[in-house]
């Protein structure tokens, strides 16, 4: 895993975890956790740890997570897998709507 991939993956994990913690409903939190599990499943055990993120706004967190997951397609992850993860992310977002 190259540095850029590790950075993107670390960002994706950190922002999705922050979304799970900041979710308004438990169902949404569970769905975000599933997205995190799916990202980890794709990469096996070679993944960076979760870091604290500087923002707390859920919209900003979602945009950052979505962007990071989309960028994974440029690091050897096939596009279909990335699309499926994005779909899971949007499904979680629907459950999190106030």
Contact assessment for residue 32 and residue 15, using Cβ atoms and an 8 Å cutoff: no
Question: Contact at 8 Å (CB) between 50 and 17?
Answer: yes
Residue of 11, 12, 15, 17 that binds another protein (CB under 8 A): 17
Q: Quote the tokens at residue 48.
A: 């960076």
Show the DSSP H helices in 44-78 as ranges: 58-71
Residues 51-80 vs another protein: string with x where CB under 8 A? x-----------------------------
Sites of contact with another protein (CB under 8 A): 1-3, 6-7, 10, 13, 17, 20-21, 26, 29-30, 33-34, 36-37, 40-41, 44-45, 47-51
């Amino acid at each position: 895993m190259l540095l850029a991939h590790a950075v993107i993956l670390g960002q994706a994990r950190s922002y999705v975890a922050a979304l799970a913690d900041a979710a308004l409903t438990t169902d949404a939190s569970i769905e975000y956790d599933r997205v995190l599990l799916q990202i980890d499943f794709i990469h096996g055990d070679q993944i960076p740890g979760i870091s604290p993120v500087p923002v707390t706004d859920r919209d900003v967190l979602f945009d950052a997570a979505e962007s990071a997951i989309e960028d994974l397609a440029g690091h050897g992850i096939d596009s279909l897998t990335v699309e499926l993860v994005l779909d899971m992310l949007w499904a979680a977002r629907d459950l999190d709507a106030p």
